[in-house]
Amino acid sequence: MNINKYNQHLQNNTFSTLFVGQNLIKLLAVDSTNTFLKDLVSKSEPLPEGTVIMADHQFAGRGQQENTWQAEPGKNLTISILLKPKFLPLHKQFLLNMAISIAINKALSKYVPIGITVKWPNDIYYLDKKLGGILIENTIVGNAIKTAVIGIGLNVNQKEFPENLESKATSLHQILQEDVNLAVLLNEICSQIESLYLQLKTGTHTFITAAYVDKLYRINVPSIYRHNGEIFEGTILGITDLGLLNVLRDEKEVQFNFKEIEFLNQ
């Protein structure tokens, strides 16, 4: 794959990081930054950990369970980051998800101090609207994670959304009523991800879990959900070690796996 045909390869950029974002590949257009990065990993020389793919226009972005992610070209942040968390046992892989979610939360909180939460498992919310999403795709060898491709999509300078998304999505521009510098925001996100990733590497887990639970959307708030077609009222209490959602339902604590429970707008 001749990547130079598609992008400009930026070395020695001004990122204030040790490795995340130091190898930055910018694309004008791509179907999916995650797919592009996974192809690079499988077809080319070993890429340095922390490599970032950034696209001005991602025309087939993907979310959880093959949902599509739509973003207006040039207005938003659509990136993928290569990490190599071989130190993380498989049964603790959700810790990476939590670390990334908290890192993005921390970066965004510098712009919007109040109202940013994480909708389990990994959507970024402002109040009751989606601000962004994360898609982590792991390559597993034996009992270890060889590589993790971290896809991040954030609505940044998009002023308007399609009619079917108006009530569900928002952007930093809509919240702040001004544009945000994408390069500065990317630097902040890379810095926060690197910091939490390095702490994860030292075996420091407790505070990451606590920080994630503290930022959970609708934590300890009775809300309406759907499971197997049945609508019920429940209260999110936290998560299990495997990342399952703990919900109080009919005075009993119940665990839900990914995509087993749907949040309903009230």
What are 190-217's pLDDT values in tens digits?
A: 999 999 999 999 998 899 999 999 999 9
Least confident of 9-18, 220-229, 230-239: 9-18
| Strand 252-256 versus strand 262-263 pairing type | unpaired
- CB count within 10 Å of CB 187 equals 19
Topology annotation, domain 3-214: BirA Bifunctional Protein; domain 2 (3.30.930)
Average pLDDT over every residue of 114-137? 96
Q: Looking only at Cα atoms, what is the longest distance across the chain?
A: 59
Average pLDDT over every residue of 117-127? 96
For residue 231, which amino acid is it?
A: I
Average pLDDT, the chain: 89
What pLDDT is stored for residue 221 in this prediction? 96
DSSP assignment, residue 82?
E
- CB count within 10 Å of CB 63 equals 17
What pLDDT is stored for residue 14 in this prediction? 63
**How far is it, in rounded angstroms, from Cα 19 to Cα 174?**
32
Asked whether residue 5 carries a pLDDT value surpassing 50, the answer given is: no
Which two three-digit tokens encode residue 126? Answer: 């402002």
Extents of the domains making up the chain = 3-214, 223-263
What pLDDT is stored for residue 58 in this prediction? 84
Asked whether residue 153 carries a pLDDT value surpassing 80, the answer given is: yes
Give the containing element (helix H, strand E) for 199: helix 182-201
